[in-house]
Amino acid sequence: MANLTLRYGGQAILYVLFAAFVGYFSTSPPYQHLPPDQALLRLSFRAPGQLTTDCRPRSPEELAKMSPQLRAQMDCPRERSPVHVRVDLDGKLMLDETFAPAGLRRDGAASGYRRQPIPAGEHLLRVQVNDSVRVKGFTHEAERRLTLAPGQVVLIDFLPDQGGVVIR
């Protein structure tokens, strides 16, 4: 009888231990994704840069060399400019990176994603973007004074058809 009690008791302990193992690691230990006093700055955009070159008329000699069904008068290269992004926080450079257009012919949209935890509190955020190789400097720019709570997310987007740099 004592042996049986010991056996069933042992089995009960075994299953309780397994349940405790499952229950504990189901939620614990907590994962500290960000330090408690940090906010998160995200850059995420997907936008086609400007075309690198303008269209030009083809010469008669060029047209003559082409197949008849392809003889378009204008030659419009499809290659797009990379998108150059520069982010300054409180006057300090945080990001200065160029994102290449997608596609074998470099005719697709450029896209980028970066994340950077930053201390919560007041910040001056400045974002500059250049999406044309034919322009020196930057084509779009935005500046925003932010007051960030811990865990707050700031998203920098680049939407040329909505005015350019968007800080949300």
List the interface residues with other proteins, window 113-152 (CB under 8 A): 113, 115, 150-152
Could you tell me which of 154, 79, 96, 100 has the C-alpha nearest to residue 122?
154
Nearest distance in Å: CB 165, other proteins: 14
Using a 10 angstrom Cβ sphere, with 0-12 exposed, 13-18 middle and 19 or more buried, the burial of residue 156 is buried
d(CA 36, CA 38): 6
Closer to other proteins by Cβ: residue 46 or 106: 46
CA distances from 32 to 38, 139, 154 (A): 11, 39, 19
C-alpha 78/C-alpha 106 separation (Å) is 8
- Comparing CB distances to other proteins, the nearer of 32 and 73 is 32
- The correct pick among 1, 4, 5, 30 for binding other proteins (CB under 8 A) is 30
Residues 66-105, one symbol each (x = binds other proteins by CB under 8 A, - = not), give: ------------------------------------x---
- Residues in touch with other proteins (CB under 8 A): 7, 10-11, 14-16, 18-23, 25-28, 30-36, 38, 40, 42, 44, 46, 102, 109, 111-113, 115, 150-153, 155, 157, 168
